[in-house]
C-alpha cells in the first residue's frame, strides 16, 4: 500500500479544548484499568496534566503548555501524546520475535502472545512511547494500537469518534496532509508552519499541527527526518547471540522471582483473612 493511502490521524491543537474525552474513550474501548495519578505542574514547557505521562494503562493523553517569554505569557496550546505509528517503525525492526509489526493499512500493533518482554522497542522508539508492565508477573509491552480492531471493521478510532470539536481527524494520510497544508497556508498567523509527522522518522501516520513551536509542546524536536529502521537493523545484527541468550535467562529469572513474590503476597493475604 502507498504510504499516503494508509489510515492516519491529523491532530489540530488549535481546535482542541482539552476536555480529555479522547483519554476516556481510549480507556473504555481498551478496557484499561484506572490508575492512581496526581496533577503535574512542571512549568510552561513541561506542561500541566494528569496523569503525568503515558503508561501501560494510559495509551493517550492531552497535555497543556504555556509559551512564556521574559516572564510573560505569550501563547498556550493543548497537545495529544500517543504512538506516532511510523511508516517504517524502528520498534518493529528491533523486535526479536516479530511481536511488534506494521499493518498494511497503517497501525503499528503487537502480539502479546509473541512478546518476550525484551523491551528493545522501548529503546528504539524515538518518541519514547512503548511502556512495560512492570508490576505484572508475566509482563508485556503496551501502547496505542490505533484502534486497529475498530479500523478493520470500518469504524473510527475511539478517540477520533469522541472528539467534540473535530481536533482529531481520521482518514487517508495523503488527504490529511493536504488538509494540514491548506490550513497552514490559509492562516499563517494562526499556525506554526510545520506538520509534525510529515517527515519525522521517515514519516508517521499521526500528523500534528499547532499554533506554537514544537519545542514548547514537550515532543522531541530533534528526531531525524530519515527512517530509523536501517540503523536499528544494523545494530540488532551486531548483537551477539550470547547476549540475547543472557537476556532470555535474565527474563526467566525475573519471572521466577516475581512469581515467588506474588505467591508470598497471596499466602500472606490468605493468612490475614483466616
Higher-pLDDT residue of 88, 136: 88
pLDDT(199) > 70: yes
Q: How confident is the model at residue 248 (pLDDT cuts 50, 70, 90)?
A: low
Specify the pLDDT at position 36.
84
Specify the pLDDT at position 265.
61
Specify the pLDDT at position 262.
60
Instruction: Kindly report the pTM of this predicted structure.
Output: 0.82
Most confident of 36-40, 80-84, 133-137, 226-230: 80-84
69-86 tens-digit pLDDT: 888 888 999 999 999 999
Specify the pLDDT at position 240.
47
What is the DSSP secondary-structure string of the chain? --GGGSEEEEEEGGG-----HHHHHHHHHHTPPP-----EE--TTT-EESSSS-BTTBS-EEEEEEEEETTEEEEEEEEEE----BSS-HHHHH-TTS-EEE-TTS-EEE-TTT-----HHHHH-TT---EE-TTSSS--EE---TTHHHHHTTPPPHHHHH-SSS-EEEEEHHHHHHHHHHHHHH-TTTS-S--BTSSGGG-BSEEEE-SS-GGGTTS-S---SS-SHHHHHHHHHTS-HHHHHHHHHHHHHHHHHHHHHHHHHHHHHHHHH-
Q: Domain boundaries in the chain? A: 1-239, 241-274
pLDDT(160) > 60: yes
Q: What is the CATH number of domain 1-239?
A: 3.30.70.20
Specify the pLDDT at position 214.
83
Amino acid at each position: 500500500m502507498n504510504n499516503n493511502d494508509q489510515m492516519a490521524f491529523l491532530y489540530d491543537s488549535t481546535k482542541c479544548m482539552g476536555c480529555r474525552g479522547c483519554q476516556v474513550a481510549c480507556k473504555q474501548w481498551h478496557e484499561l484499568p484506572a490508575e492512581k495519578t496526581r496533577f503535574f505542574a512542571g512549568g510552561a514547557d513541561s506542561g500541566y496534566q494528569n496523569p503525568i505521562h503515558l503508561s501501560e494503562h494510559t495509551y493517550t493523553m492531552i497535555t497543556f503548555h504555556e509559551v512564556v517569554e521574559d516572564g510573560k505569557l505569550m501563547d498556550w496550546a493543548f497537545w495529544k501524546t500517543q504512538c506516532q505509528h511510523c511508516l517504517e517503525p524502528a520498534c518493529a525492526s528491533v523486535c526479536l520475535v516479530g511481536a511488534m509489526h506494521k499493518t498494511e493499512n497503517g497501525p503499528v500493533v503487537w502480539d502479546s502472545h509473541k512478546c518476550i518482554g525484551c523491551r528493545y522497542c522501548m529503546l528504539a522508539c524515538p518518541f519514547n512511547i512503548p511502556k512495560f508492565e512492570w508490576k505484572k508477573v508475566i509482563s508485556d509491552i503496551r501502547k496505542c494500537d490505533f484502534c486497529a480492531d475498530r479500523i478493520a471493521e470500518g469504524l473510527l478510532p475511539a478517540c477520533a469518534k469522541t472528539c467534540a470539536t473535530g481536533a482529531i481527524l481520521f482518514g487517508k494520510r495523503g488527504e490529511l496532509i493536504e488538509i494540514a497544508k491548506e490550513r497552514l497556508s490559509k492562516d499563517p498567523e494562526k499556525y506554526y508552519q510545520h506538520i509534525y509527522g510529515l517527515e519525522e522518522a521517515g514519516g508517521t501516520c499521526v500528523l500534528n499541527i499547532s499554533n506554537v513551536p514544537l519545542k514548547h509542546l514537550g515532543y522531541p524536536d530533534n528526531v531525524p527526518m530519515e527512517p530509523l529502521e536501517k540503523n536499528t537493523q544494523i545494530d540488532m545484527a551486531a548483537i551477539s547471540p550470547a547476549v540475547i541468550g543472557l537476556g532470555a535467562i535474565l527474563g526467566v529469572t525475573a519471572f521466577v522471582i516475581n512469581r515467588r513474590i506474588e505467591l508470598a503476597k497471596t499466602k500472606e493475604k490468605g493468612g490475614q483473612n483466616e
